[in-house]
C-alpha cells in the first residue's frame, strides 16, 4: 500500500463502541415496533450482535425507569419464546433521524451508483429505476441533513466504450462465454482469450469484468477501457466451482510468492509511482526522494516503467533487472545515433 499518512481527524476519535450501544438501543425498539413481532436470532443478525448481547439490550430497555413526578417504567417488552414484542414505548417508538454523515454516506454512494449506471449502462441503475426512487425518498427522509452530501462527488472513468459494457452485461445475463481482444499495456500486447464472465466491478473509479479466463485457467479482471473487441460466443459460460471472486475490499493487486521484488528510487517527479501502484514499502530518503518496493510477476512491465521514468526512477534491484534496463536504454538510444 502507499505510504502511511498520519492525517488524523482533528475532531478527535470517532464514536466509541459504547455510544454505538446507545444508538443501537434507540434503534432496537422501533425495529421491533415496525415489525410488530420479530425473532431474537433475526434481530441479533440485523444489528450485528450476539443473541446474548441482544438480550442484555432488551433487558436494559425494559429496566428504564423514570422516578419523578411519579415513578414509572416507560418501556414494556417481552421476548418469551424467542419472539420480541414491544407493548409500550411511545417515546422512542420511532428511530432517530439521520445525521449529516449518515445521510451523506448513503446519498454519495447512491449518486455514485447512478453515475456508474450511466457509464457502464447497468439496467438496474438506469435513470427512472429503483435507484432514482431510492435517492428521492432518502433525500425526503433526511431533510436538511441531505444537503452537505452535494459537497462530495464521484466521477467514474468514461473511457470505456459503452458498447463493450452493454455487450458484457448481456453476456452475463444470458450466461454466455465471450472472446476478448484485450490490450495489456505493461507488455504492449493485444491478447486474445475466451472468458466466462462472472460479474462487473467498479473499483478505484474504473469498470472491470471479472471472469474465468480460459487461457490463464484462473479468475482475471479486465479493465473495460482496455477491451479492444468483444465477441459473444454461442457457448454457455462455465465458471468452475473453484473460481473465487476477487475480494475487492483487499485491493485489486495481490502479490504472489513467485513475484519479483523490485526496489526503485524515485525523484520528486517520480513519486507518482507510489501513488499509482501498490508498494510494499515506501521510505522517504530525503530531498523529496522515495525508495519503494514493488512486487510484480512481470519484468517487462518494470523495464517499460524504468524507461518511462528515466532519471526520475532508478531501479536498485534485482541486479538482473538493473542490467536489463540499461541494455534496453542503450539499444533504444542507438536507434537515434544510427539514424543520425
Partner 1 sequence: MSKRKTERLLGLVVCLLSSQRYLTATQIRAAVPGYPASFDAFKRMFERDKEELRELGIPLDMGTNGPLDEELGYRIPRQEYMLPDIRLEPDEAAMLTLAARVWRRAELEGAAAGALLKLRAAGVEAEETSQPGIEPRLAGEAAFGPLWEAVRDRRPVTFSYRAFGRSEPQQRQLEPWGVVNRHGRWYVAGHDQARDAVRVFRLSRIEGQIEFSGPRGAVSVPDGTDVRELVAEWDSHPADRQAAVLRIRSGTGLGLRRRAISEQPGGDGWDQVEVPFSDSAWFAEHVASFGADVVVSEPADLRDAVITRLKGALA
3-state SS string for 216-236: CCEEEEEEHHHEEEEEEEEEE
Q: Which member of 77, 79, 169, 177 binds partner 1 (CB under 8 A)?
A: 169
Subset of residues 171 to 230 that bind partner 1, contact rule: CB under 8 A: 172, 183, 185, 188-190, 199-206
Looking at 77-85, 102-110, 234-242, 291-299, which segment touches partner 1 (CB under 8 A)?
102-110
Give the count of beta carbons closer than 10 Å to the beta carbon of residue 216.
11
120 near partner 1, judged by CB under 8 A: yes
Question: For residues 232, 233, 235 and 239, what is the CA-based torsion angle, rounded to 10 degrees?
Answer: -50
103 near partner 1, judged by CB under 8 A: yes
Q: How far is the CB of 96 from partner 1 (least distance, A)?
A: 6
Nearer to partner 1 by Cβ, of 248 and 263: the residue is 248
Burial of 319 (0-12, 13-18, 19+ CB in 10 A): exposed
- Per-residue binding string, partner 1, 45-84, x by CB under 8 A, is -xx------------xx-xxxxxxx----xx---------
* 37-39 sheet: strands from edge to edge: 37-39, 83-88, 76-78
Chain CA centroid to CA 252, Å: 9
Q: How far is the CB of 19 from partner 1 (least distance, A)?
A: 6
R_g (Cα) of the chain, nearest Å:
28
Subset of residues 239 to 278 that bind partner 1, contact rule: CB under 8 A: 248-249, 268-269, 271-272, 275
Nearer to partner 1 by Cβ, of 56 and 217: the residue is 56
Distances (CA, A) of 304 to 74, 187, 308: 71, 8, 6
Q: Which helix (H) or strand (E) holds 39?
A: strand 37-39
Subset of residues 1 to 40 that bind partner 1, contact rule: CB under 8 A: 2, 5-11, 14-16, 18-19, 21-28, 30-31, 34-35
Q: How far is the CB of 87 from partner 1 (least distance, A)?
A: 16
Q: Which member of 167, 219, 294, 312 binds partner 1 (CB under 8 A)?
A: 312
Give the count of beta carbons closer than 10 Å to the beta carbon of residue 43.
22
Distances (CA, A) of 47 to 33, 105, 249, 252, 262: 15, 19, 22, 30, 45
Q: Which member of 118, 161, 304, 318 binds partner 1 (CB under 8 A)?
A: 304
Nearer to partner 1 by Cβ, of 176 and 304: the residue is 304
Looking at 78-86, 151-159, 215-223, 258-266, which segment touches partner 1 (CB under 8 A)?
151-159
44 near partner 1, judged by CB under 8 A: no
Closest CA to 283 of 274, 275, 292: 292
Amino acid at each position: 500500500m502507499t505510504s502511511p499518512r498520519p492525517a488524523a481527524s482533528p475532531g478527535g476519535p470517532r464514536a466509541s463502541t459504547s455510544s454505538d450501544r446507545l444508538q443501537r438501543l434507540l434503534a432496537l425498539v422501533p425495529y421491533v415496533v415496525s415489525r410488530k413481532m420479530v425473532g431474537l436470532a433475526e434481530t441479533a443478525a440485523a444489528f450485528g450482535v450476539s443473541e446474548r448481547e441482544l438480550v442484555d439490550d432488551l433487558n436494559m430497555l425494559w429496566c428504564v425507569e423514570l422516578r419523578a413526578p411519579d415513578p414509572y417504567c416507560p418501556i414494556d417488552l417481552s421476548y418469551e419464546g424467542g419472539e420480541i414484542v414491544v407493548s409500550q414505548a411511545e417515546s422512542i417508538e420511532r428511530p432517530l433521524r439521520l445525521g449529516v454523515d449518515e445521510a451523506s454516506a448513503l446519498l454519495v454512494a447512491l449518486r455514485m451508483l447512478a453515475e456508474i449506471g450511466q457509464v457502464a449502462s447497468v439496467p438496474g441503475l438506469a435513470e427512472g429505476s429503483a435507484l432514482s426512487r431510492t435517492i428521492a425518498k432518502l433525500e425526503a427522509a433526511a431533510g436538511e441533513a441531505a444537503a452537505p452530501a452535494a459537497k462530495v462527488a464521484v466521477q467514474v472513468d468514461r473511457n470505456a466504450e459503452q458498447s463493450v459494457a452493454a455487450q458484457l452485461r448481456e453476456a452475463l445475463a444470458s450466461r454466455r462465454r465471450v472472446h476478448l481482444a484485450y490490450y495489456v499495456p505493461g507488455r504492449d500486447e493485444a491478447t486474445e482469450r475466451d472468458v466466462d464472465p462472472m460479474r462487473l466491478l467498479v473499483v478505484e473509479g474504473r469498470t472491470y469484468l471479472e471472469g474465468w479466463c480460459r487461457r490463464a485457467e484462473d479468475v482475471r479482471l479486465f479493465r473495460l477501457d482496455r477491451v479492444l473487441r468483444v465477441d459473444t460466443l454461442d457457448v454457455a459460460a462455465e465458471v468452475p466451482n473453484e473460481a473465487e471472486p476477487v475480494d475487492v475490499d483487499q485491493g485489486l493487486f495481490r502479490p504472489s510468492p513467485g513475484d519479483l521484488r523490485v526496489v526503485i528510487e524515485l525523484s520528486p517527479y517520480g513519486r507518482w509511482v507510489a501513488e499509482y501502484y501498490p508498494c510494499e514499502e515506501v521510505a522517504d530518503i530525503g530531498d523529496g526522494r522515495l525508495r519503494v518496493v514493488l512486487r510484480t510477476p512481470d519484468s517487462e512491465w518494470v523495464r517499460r516503467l524504468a524507461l518511462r521514468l528515466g532519471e526520475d526512477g532508478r531501479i536498485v534491484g534485482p541486479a538482473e533487472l538493473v542490467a536489463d534496463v540499461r541494455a534496453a536504454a542503450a539499444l533504444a538510444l542507438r536507434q537515434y545515433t544510427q539514424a543520425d
